[in-house]
Structure 1
Amino acid sequence: MRSSIIHRDPDILNGEPVFRGTRVPVQVLFDYLQYSTIDEFLIGYPHIDRAMVNEVLTVAANQLTRRRARHERTA
């Protein structure tokens, strides 16, 4: 699944994945989720909406699932 919300550009934060149209690294969402909630992330970054967060989480879940399936096929 190619994401319309995750953007990489070598001129923006050295190519770190960010929410499209922002300079907010996707990693910040995962850092928040480690100790907090999506709601608190959205309060801290009001220009990012829940749909954007959901898409990032879906992309991450799909990538993890694909990696696991690949690993199981080679094991």
Structure 2
Amino acid sequence: MKTEWIVSDPSIMMGKPVIAGTRITVELILEKLAAGETVEDLLEAHPRLTREAIQAALAFAAEALRADVVYPIKVPA
């Protein structure tokens, strides 16, 4: 993963990880993809975004989830 794509600064978007040089958060990219938007939709809606940046956001999220943390998930009754 190219780490220079993702940055975090407390003065930008409350320190959430963003695409460098933008206010586009990794969270926003994940939410939009999870909601069914395509990479092409994201690129059209955010002209400063690139395919490489989206890939970097996905890689960043995957790496963040590799941490040794337990995420309790409640199973519906």
Q: Assess if the C-alpha contact under 8 Å between 2:6 and 2:57 holds in 1.
A: yes
Q: CA deviation at 1:2?
A: 6.8
What's the secondary structure of 2:3's corresponding residue?
A: coil
1:1-75 map, 5 Å: 3-35=3-35, 36-64=37-65, 66-67=66-67, 70=68
Q: Aligned residues: percent identity? A: 32
Structure number with higher helix proportion: 1
Letter in structure 2 aligned against 1:50: R
**Deviations 1:13-53, CA, capped at 9 Å, x for gaps:** 11111110011111110111112111111111111100111
Q: Assess if the C-alpha contact under 8 Å between 1:8 and 1:18 holds in 2.
A: yes
TM-score by length of 2: 0.73
Q: Assess if the C-alpha contact under 8 Å between 1:32 and 1:38 holds in 2.
A: no
TM-score by length of 1: 0.75
RMSD of aligned C-alpha atoms? 1.9
What's the secondary structure of 2:59's corresponding residue?
A: helix
Gaps of 5+ in 2: 70-77
Q: Assess if the C-alpha contact under 8 Å between 2:26 and 2:61 holds in 1.
A: no
Tell me the matched-pair count.
68
